[in-house]
Amino acid sequence: MKQKVLLLGGCCIDEILECDHLPKAGDDILIKSKKVMLGGSCLNVATVLKRLGKEPILYSALGHSIFSQYKADLIEEGFDCSCIYEVEGQTGTCTILIDSSKERTFLTYNGIEGQFNEDKIPLTVIDQIEWIYLSGIFLTYKDESQKIVPFLMRMIHQGKHIFFDLGSLVDQIEINLLKECIELSSIIKGNESEIDILVNRLHLGHITEILNTNLRIIIKTCGAQGSLTYLEKNSLSTPSVEVEPIDTTGSGDSFVGAFIASLLDNLSTQECLEIASKFGAIATTHAGGRIKLNEKK
Decide: 139 and 152 in contact? Cβ < 8 Å: no
Cα 191 to its chain centre, rounded Å, is 12
DSSP symbol at 48:
H
Q: What is the pLDDT of residue 282?
A: 84
Where do the structural domains in the chain lie, given as residue ranges?
Answer: 4-21+33-285
Q: What is the pLDDT of residue 241?
A: 85
DSSP symbol at 29:
-
Q: What is the pLDDT of residue 203?
A: 97
User: CA angle, 191 as apex, 96 and 227 as ends, to 5°?
Assistant: 125
Q: What is the pLDDT of residue 249?
A: 66
From the options 3.30.1280.10, 3.40.1190.20, 3.40.50.1370, 3.40.50.2020, give the CATH code of 4-21+33-285.
3.40.1190.20
Q: Can you tell me the distance from the alpha carbon of 196 to that of 240, in angstroms, rounded to the nearest whole number?
A: 20
Q: What is the pLDDT along the chain (297 residues), one digit of tens a residue?
A: 679 999 999 999 999 899 999 989 999 999 999 989 898 999 999 999 999 999 999 999 999 999 999 999 999 999 999 999 999 999 999 998 988 887 788 898 999 999 999 999 999 999 999 999 999 999 999 889 999 999 999 999 999 999 999 999 999 999 999 999 999 999 999 999 999 999 999 999 999 999 998 999 999 999 889 999 999 989 999 998 887 776 666 789 999 999 999 999 999 999 999 999 999 988 877 766 666 666 655
Q: Can you tell me the distance from the alpha carbon of 289 to that of 84, in angstroms, rounded to the nearest whole number?
A: 20
Neighbours of 244 (CB within 10 A): 7
Q: Can you tell me the distance from the alpha carbon of 218 to that of 195, in angstroms, rounded to the nearest whole number?
A: 9
Neighbours of 2 (CB within 10 A): 13
49-to-4, 180, 244, 290 alpha-carbon distances in Å: 9, 27, 24, 12
pTM comes to 0.91
